A and B are shown apart, each in its own frame.
Chain A
Amino acid sequence: MNFTREELRKLATPLLVALAVLGAGAALIWSAGESLRDAQRTLAAAQAERKQNAERLTRIAEEEREVSQKLDVYQRLKSLNILGEERRLEWADAITRIRTQRELLDLRYRVERQQLLYSAVGKPANVDFFASTMKVDLALLHEEDLLRFLADLRESGNAFYSVKRCALTRTGQAATGTTITPRLRAECEIDLVTILDRASKQ
């Protein structure tokens, strides 16, 4: 069937109306679909949160025990000043004190600049582990002097002392009998580890 121009003009308006109405219907479906997807995402997030909270609640007894256990360690770290900023002056004081107390013949040391060992993910903030490498050169009468020095250092606190390397060599100097001559030399590398809990209330 052929239509005249006049007839086509008459059909144009209903056609536009029908298309507009169909477009509105399609928009309705699209918006409903979008809302459904959005609601499903919200539901999934809510379900995950509820599950997590419920599991956390179930584990609370265990967590309480864990907290009390870990709290002891945490407080010990705090009291030893391992937790917190570096205390380089205290380190220097401690080494001087040890040398005097142990009557060490020769003791030289150098503490390198601080470096981040790694950053552990915490909530609400990370926990950063820093290390400053200390190189120590010791003149020893006996290897026991080195072990005492390390023990004293550990006792002094203000950092966790992680010994990385110790090389003991003979000096080759013969004992004169008049002066105390070191028989051994020790060269050690020790990491002075401190922890910075960024969520900690100072």
Chain B
Amino acid sequence: MATRRILYFTAEDHYLYRSQGSALELEAKFSGDDLGVSAFREHLRGQRRALYSVLADLAGEDFHEELIPYLRGSDRAAVIQRRLAQRYRDTRLAAALSLGQAASGERRNERLLLTSFTNTQQLAPWLDALEEAGARLSGVYSVPLLAPALAARLGVKGERALVVTATRAGLRQCYVDQNRLRFARLERTVEMVPQALAMFVRSETQRLLQYLVTLRALPREGAPVQVLVLAPPGQRALFEQALVSDGRLVFRSVDYADALKAVGLKSAPEGTAAEALYLHLAARKPPAEQFASREERRSFFIWQLQRGIVAAGALGFAACALYGGSRWLEVMNVRSQAAVQNREAQLAAQQYGRITATFPVTQTTTENMKVTVVEFSKLAEQSASPERSFVHVSRVLEEFPQMELDSLVWSVGRPGAGADKSKSAKQGEISVIVEISGRVNATQRNDYRAITGQVQRFAAALAGSGYRLLRTQLPFDVTSEGTLSGDIGTGPDTGEAPRFTIVVARRLP
């Protein structure tokens, strides 16, 4: 966490505190005159680029409520700037605090609390010194601006309350309504005993109440107002005894130690009073509203932007790392699954190896042995011997003694591959093909009908016992497409028997 320095600015002396974590330390003290400014400039020389804020605890702080049209963006900023300029001669340290919407007829308005210091010149040299030193000014706050945050920390929840604290500057009274500052005043105090301080608190609170009623900031009649009084260390009991509640005011005293705990401040420098609480809040939980202009805070804004960019990068990296981490977990899970699968595969392979070791000894691998036998079996199935075909043809010939064979061509192949493709033949099937050429004896050569009949019967007889007829070439072309000629009874008989060709096939398994 970055170290922040807060310049606590009072009418007399100014104190520079260093806030780190939940600790607050007094770093330096400067007088309110020119010597103090010079010393501050000198001090800043060794603190370049440090983070600074200013907490003013001054009596001359003006609060004025205004009503502006309900606007947003640059229009609202322009209206506010105009109202501030109308109200204050010097707007360098002026702020407008929104008090929320105000319904007035049909028009929506916004209530503002304009606030500034009646004498901004006392702050100017100190702010100039900061600017010249290149310090990062996060904001200029006043104690009243931090009062709502303190009230909330001390248990005030939205109701009207007066927060009364004793700081180095005096008795600070802040009127908070709905967690928003409405009014504040600082009454200078002198050294007094706790009893007297308590009585002073009571009388000043009643005076403030009267004033607020006069301003109509508080209703004349109504519920009692809670008064939150921060008692000095160890004086709570005494304060509770002195501050008796009545019909208009309900006092609640808070012990200083309890208040430190409530704001998260573990150690406060010795000698500090209630301002330690405001200083810590200004350092750690600064409110959005403050007095410094945008230009005065420019260096701080750039610093915030730098950190924001780096933080965005770191956030992006964290998101990537988170996503990447989840993917890596997935990777580890998948890898472990793969390792299990590999182990199981190895176990199965080892078991397989052990079992196959008991198999009969072969001269090759099991795989190759299988391939060899399977492929050889296929080859053998597609091979045949002519013997079976010869036997078949011989048997048929015995029934047809007038048939005389000239040639017999036995082959293994695909019937469709031949020149004459039979429609019935299934192409692609390996078959035994037998082509028989022969002559028809003991029949008149010119007896076409008898010869054709005998050849057709012979072919029909061959097409049996697993054989199918592929082609029959008759001695004469008796089809309508061919030419049929005859020379009956006049010419001499040449004696040559009519020739035929029959092709049959048997499919191999």
Which residues of A are interface residues toward B (Cβ below 8 A)?
7, 10-11, 13-15, 17-22, 24-26, 28-29, 31-33, 35-36, 39-40, 42-43, 46-47, 49-50, 52-54, 56-57, 60, 63-64, 66-68, 70-71, 73-74, 77-78, 82-83, 117-118, 120-125, 127, 129, 143, 146-147, 150-151, 154, 160, 162-170, 193, 195, 197-201
Extra 13 A-B pairs, beta carbons < 8 Å, given A57-B355, A129-B376: A11-B302, A46-B338, A53-B348, A53-B349, A54-B344, A63-B366, A73-B377, A127-B371, A147-B385, A150-B386, A160-B383, A166-B386, A199-B364
Question: Of A20, A56, A123, which is within 8 A of B368 by CB?
Answer: A123
Question: Of A11, A40, A49, A168, which is within 8 A of B334 by CB?
Answer: A40
What is the chain A residue whose CB lies nearest that of B411? A165
Question: Of A47, A49, A50, A77, which is within 8 A of B376 by CB?
Answer: A77
User: Bound state CA distance, A151 and B386, in angstroms?
Assistant: 11
Establish whether residues B368 and A43, one from each chain, have CB atoms under 8 Å apart when the complex forms.
no
**With contacts A74-B373, A166-B411 known, is A22 near B368, CB below 8 A?**
no
User: Bound state CA distance, A24 and B317, in angstroms?
Assistant: 7
Considering only residues 348-375 of chain B, those with a C-beta below 8 Å from chain A are 348-349, 351-352, 355-356, 359-360, 362-375
The 3 closest A-B pairs by CB, nearest first: A25-B320, A18-B313, A53-B348
- Residues of B contacting A68 in the complex (Cβ-Cβ under 8 angstroms): 359-360
Binds A, one of B211-219, B321-329, B421-429: B321-329
Query: How many Å from the CB of B63 to the closest CB on chain A?
Result: 31
- Residues of B contacting A117 in the complex (Cβ-Cβ under 8 angstroms): 379
- Residues of B contacting A82 in the complex (Cβ-Cβ under 8 angstroms): 376
Q: Is B335 interfacial (CB-CB < 8 Å)?
A: yes
Which residues of B are interface residues toward A (Cβ below 8 A)?
302, 305-307, 309-310, 312-314, 316-321, 323-325, 327-328, 330-331, 334-335, 337-339, 341-342, 344-345, 348-349, 351-352, 355-356, 359-360, 362-377, 379-380, 383-387, 390, 405-413
Establish whether residues B386 and A146, one from each chain, have CB atoms under 8 Å apart when the complex forms.
yes
- Residues of A contacting B307 in the complex (Cβ-Cβ under 8 angstroms): 14
Establish whether residues B367 and A29, one from each chain, have CB atoms under 8 Å apart when the complex forms.
no
Interface of A is mostly: helix
**With contacts A28-B324, A150-B386 known, is A129 near B365, CB below 8 A?**
no
Question: Of B345, B373, B380, which is within 8 A of A160 by CB?
Answer: B380
What is the chain B residue whose CB lies nearest that of A19? B313
Establish whether residues A167 and B408, one from each chain, have CB atoms under 8 Å apart when the complex forms.
yes
Establish whether residues B363 and A78, one from each chain, have CB atoms under 8 Å apart when the complex forms.
yes
* Most chain A CB within a 10 A radius of its CB, from B371, B374, B377, B411: B371
Interface of B is mostly: helix
- Residues of B contacting A56 in the complex (Cβ-Cβ under 8 angstroms): 348, 352
What is the chain B residue whose CB lies nearest that of A10? B302
- Residues of A contacting B341 in the complex (Cβ-Cβ under 8 angstroms): 43, 46-47, 49-50
What is the chain B residue whose CB lies nearest that of A52? B345
**With contacts A26-B320, A29-B323 known, is A143 near B412, CB below 8 A?**
no
What is the chain B residue whose CB lies nearest that of A143? B390
Establish whether residues B331 and A50, one from each chain, have CB atoms under 8 Å apart when the complex forms.
no
- Residues of A contacting B383 in the complex (Cβ-Cβ under 8 angstroms): 160, 162-163
- Residues of A contacting B376 in the complex (Cβ-Cβ under 8 angstroms): 73, 77, 82, 129, 160, 195
- Residues of A contacting B369 in the complex (Cβ-Cβ under 8 angstroms): 67, 70-71, 74, 197
- Residues of B contacting A13 in the complex (Cβ-Cβ under 8 angstroms): 306
User: Bound state CA distance, A121 and B310, in angstroms?
Assistant: 63
- Residues of B contacting A122 in the complex (Cβ-Cβ under 8 angstroms): 365, 367-368, 371-372
User: Bound state CA distance, A22 and B379, in angstroms?
Assistant: 68
